[in-house]
Chain A
Amino acid sequence: MKVFTILGARPQFIKAAPVSKALRAAGYKEYLIHTGQHYDYGMSQVFFDEMGISVPDVNLEIGSGYHGQQTGQMLAAIEEQIVAQKPDWVLVYGDTNSTLAGALAACKLRVPLAHVEAGLRSFNRTMPEEHNRVLTDHCSDMLFCPTQTAVNHLAREGITQGVHLVGDTMYDAVMQFTTIANQSSTILQELSLSSKKYLLATIHRPYNTDNPVNLGNILAAFVETDELIVFPVHPRTRKKLIELELAGQKSFSSNLKLIEPVGYLDMLMLEQHARLILTDSGGVQKEAYFFGVPCITLRPETEWVETVEAGWNILLHQTWDALYTLVHNNVWPEYQSPIFGDGNAAEKIVAIIGER
């Protein structure tokens, strides 16, 4: 059996790594297509290196561009690959333009399509990812859901066939790579950080970073927390910071430690030793939960409502004044229940596609 894996952006490398491993273990041939959506070394190659994912069989080298142009180019290029290689399955991950392009190409050619991390909804249509999610789900033959909530979302859209609750492959990845991270990462020493004595922040969403006023307000709120905040900066955000010349302002750098984007293993270290995580990323919210680290999500909504319902995640948007109180006075829960499966999602996925 030949399986196409379509990857393009950072979170997908993490989601795919455990599945790649399980595919190899089952003796299936995986053909890896990197669309090139995230293209610099820090954002991409480092993940392949650290996670032992095989080098992509082909890199389509489609970099940034307008959404339509980027998705269109990927669609045409992926179709060519499918026609040439005739895979038995196409696997797509998450909710990026690469996901949608792979899904459309497979669906139009009637090649069986599986969506890993299916059924997520933020119900915010202004997020480009939301369209990608909905459309990919409606294209897919097999839908692998990380949570029961996701299964319920699909049912509400009339999708019940081919739906499997398998758990979250990102949880698989955390289980597999935390030990390695603990042994090999030196990021805490490099940054002179002590466990539970700092906060970790990541922001990259356009509505938080593209508007100078919003970005300025968020950074001001970070400063006001008076906590040491480690802040790996996404290339997009760094660009904005430079544009705003905010990075150079002394007030912002007093307790903010701006660092280059880090690889997966270093990120796992930074996450598990943080006292609290501030993020607008979907994956980081989950990883915070996996490590039992409280999370404040800088968004008006989340696809991971279970973490909010469990009390481990709090949504905060625009009312940035409240950040100080949340950081200093909020009482976080002491216990967690497993929401994201048992760490064997990848094996279940491979077993299910192997049955067809």
Chain B
Amino acid sequence: MKIMHIVGARPNFMKIAPIMSEMNRYDDHFEQVLVHTGQHYDRTMSQVFFDELELPHPDINLDVRSGSHAQQTAEIMKRFEPVLLDYRPDWLFVPGDVNSTLACALVAAKSSVPIVHVEAGLRSYDRTMPEEINRILTDHLSDMLLTPSRDGDENLLKEGIPPQKIHFVGNIMIDTLVRLLPKAQSRYDALKKQYELQSFILVTLHRPANVDNDETLQGILEAVHEIGRHAQVLFPVHPRTRSNLAKSEFQPLLRNILLLEPLGYLDFLALQSAADVVVTDSGGVQEETTFLGVPCVTVRPNTERPVTLTQGTNRLVSSDCQSLIHAISDSLSSVSAPDRQVPERWDGKTASRIVQIFL
């Protein structure tokens, strides 16, 4: 069976790695090809993940790089089409909700190549997020939809997607986390020494809604600055956040914060698992902290991963300075809730459940 996998951006790598590795165990059954669209291309956002996750070197790199949403989607479609038609896989695997996900799914649907959407059914019901459009459209293009949680199944059924296409396989990212957590934790001592860590707060921000509007960013930074007066704050900076932070009016607010280059998977996981609180607007971090049992403060009005709220350690907070300070202090002072649990099928065996479907 010929399988083609797509990766494009940082959050895709840890979703495809466990599937490829599991399929490798049945190498008489699967022939796999990995296509990197090149949506994220600098070393810290891409190559380091291939190394750490032991993803094979991509067979094909479309090297599209940045652009507006439409330009990037268009460029991926143009470059991916000949690649797809040349290889003609039996199944195309597209993960997550980035532009590469939608662009490659669109091309495959037009060429009648069956599509598997990994991490299907997520909905924030906020269409101002570009990812929301990518999710909805990719789900409606797909022939098989692999969901990380039961709410995903419900969302898809509500949109009229036939139940026989939907498979609740669990959270594939947790497979990567479970496998690499020991290795990550073994690196913690070095990090602790390097950054002189005691107890600390880890911050990640990259969403346009948070970092592209100066007023919003100011509010968030003021809160983090305030927290930083009493606790150590580590902030690995996403490339798209970097230029906004460089503005002179923000400099006084960054004094109590340790700004870092983007981290690799292992170092970031090590820091996440040791942090007292994680402040984020990322989707994956909400899930990882839930699995790790680390309190998470998500600076967003909504989430497409509601089990992290109902079962996990996550809470949603607005970007308003006072609410944020309150939420972070609250998370710091309270022990994690006793009824917290790891959601169903977030157990490191998702790749195996996926591969069983294709055997």
Contact = CB atoms under 8 A, between A and B. Distances in A.
Nearest to B80: A68
Contact of B137 (A69, A109, A135, A156): A135
Nearest to B140: A134
Contacts of B73: 72, 75, 104, 108
Contacts of A107: 127, 133
Contacts of A78: 70
A134 B68 CA distance: 24
A278 interface: no
Contacts of A69: 77-78, 81
B308 to A, nearest CB: 23
B69 A67 contact: no
Contacts of B247: none
B14 to A, nearest CB: 26
Nearest to A73: B74
B338 interface: no
Interface string A64-77: 00111101110110
Contacts of A73: 74, 78
B64 to A, nearest CB: 11
Report which residue of A73, A78, A135 has the largest number of chain B beta carbons within 10 angstroms of its beta carbon: A135
A128 interface: yes
Given A131-B141, A138-B136, A68 B111 contact: yes
Contact of A108 (B106, B110, B112, B130): B130
A110 B81 CA distance: 27
Q: Which size class do A's interface residues fall under?
A: 20 to 34
Contacts of B164: none
A139 interface: yes
Nearest to A110: B128
Interface in B154-185: 158-160
A68 B113 CA distance: 13
B160 A71 contact: no
A242 B137 CA distance: 39
B109 interface: yes
A220 B138 CA distance: 41
Contacts of A226: none
A38 to B, nearest CB: 18
Contacts of B153: none
29 contacts: A66-B81, A67-B81, A68-B81, A68-B106, A68-B111, A71-B77, A71-B110, A72-B74, A72-B77, A72-B103, A75-B70, A76-B70, A78-B70, A79-B68, A79-B69, A79-B71, A104-B133, A104-B137, A107-B127, A108-B130, A110-B127, A126-B112, A128-B110, A131-B110, A131-B141, A135-B140, A138-B137, A138-B140, A139-B137
Interface of A: 66-69, 71-73, 75-76, 78-79, 83, 104-105, 107-110, 126, 128, 131, 134-135, 138-139, 156-158
Given A104-B137, A131-B140, A135-B140, 13 more contacts: A66-B110, A69-B81, A73-B74, A75-B73, A76-B75, A78-B70, A83-B68, A108-B130, A110-B127, A110-B128, A128-B110, A138-B136, A138-B137
Please provide the 9 A-B residue pairs with the shortest distance between their CB atoms, ordered closest to farther: A72-B77, A79-B70, A67-B110, A72-B74, A68-B81, A68-B107, A76-B74, A157-B160, A108-B69
